[in-house]
Amino acid sequence: GAVVSQHPSWVICKSGTSVKIECRSLDFQATTMFWYRQFPKQSLMLMATSNEGSKATYEQGVEKDKFLINHASLTLSTLTVTSAHPEDSSFYICSAPPSGGERGTDTQYFGPGTRLTVL
Amino acid sequence: GNSVTQMEGPVTLSEEAFLTINCTYTATGYPSLFWYVQYPGEGLQLLLKATKADDKGSNKGFEATYRKETTSFHLEKGSVQVSDSAVYFCALTSYSSASKIIFGSGTRLSIRP
């Protein structure tokens, strides 16, 4: 089946630094990717939609200047957490529906997640 | 807006017991419905899906039927195994939501040997 990878799988950083997380679709193209965050024992909350060749669209309450998203190619989206603080510590997950799939019904494939810990 | 409500957890069962995890939804139009599973330390995996009313999704002994009249998509399995211990998420997506997935809160399932 389709595979989505994330790198790194975990990262620890100091408060005030920036961290970049990569999401790659390994065997399919994705014009759209989604970024979620998941707090311990909670559900996934959609943060933003990453669009290849255009700006990302952010969900209400998500700071676009803090969570920078770049969809550099049809197989790569990156999420950069700028000036990270301890409250940004979370599990970040990306997903991608294959391009050409039927909007609204097609299966999405999830990355394994990146655990960010900000000290 | 669209939303998903699923049974609160955690749920603890003995091996070979019958499982039901309730899920109801609110949506405009005709959403597609999904169950995703997250095993300990792993990412989300699609368990099953149904894209129209009365469809039944099934996989690994799990089943769920898309009931439009009751806006439900309950997950069932006749005989659970220890390896089924995981967190289960009910979810929906729709054309009108541009494929954004709306997740339920998740139900943690633990199976005792």
Q: Are A23 and A77 in contact (CB under 8 A)?
A: yes
Residue A14 to residue A18: CA distance in whole angstroms: 9
Any A CB within 8 A of B1 CB: no
Segment B44-52 shows an average pLDDT of 92
pLDDT of A104 reads 52
| Residue in B closest to A98 by C-alpha | B99
Amino acid at A39: F
The DSSP call for residue A97 is: P
pLDDT band at A101 (very low <50, low <70, confident <90, very high): low
What is the average pLDDT across A74-98? 93
Which residue in B has a C-alpha nearest to residue A92's C-alpha?
B43
Q: With pLDDT > 90 as the criterion, what percentage of chain A qualifies?
A: 66
- A58–B contact, CB cutoff 8 A: no
> Which tens digits make up the pLDDT trace of A23-42?
999 888 888 899 999 888 78
| pLDDT in the model for residue B98 | 66
What is the rounded distance in angstroms from the CA atom of residue B46 to the CA atom of residue A109?
8
Contact residues, A window 79-118, toward B, CB-based 8 Å cutoff: 93, 95, 97, 103-113
- B55: how many CB neighbours lie within 10 A of its CB? 14
Tens of pLDDT along B73-92? 999 999 999 999 999 999 99
The model's confidence at residue A109, banded by pLDDT at 50, 70 and 90, is: confident
Q: What is the bridge-based pairing of β-strands A10-13 and A32-38? A: unpaired
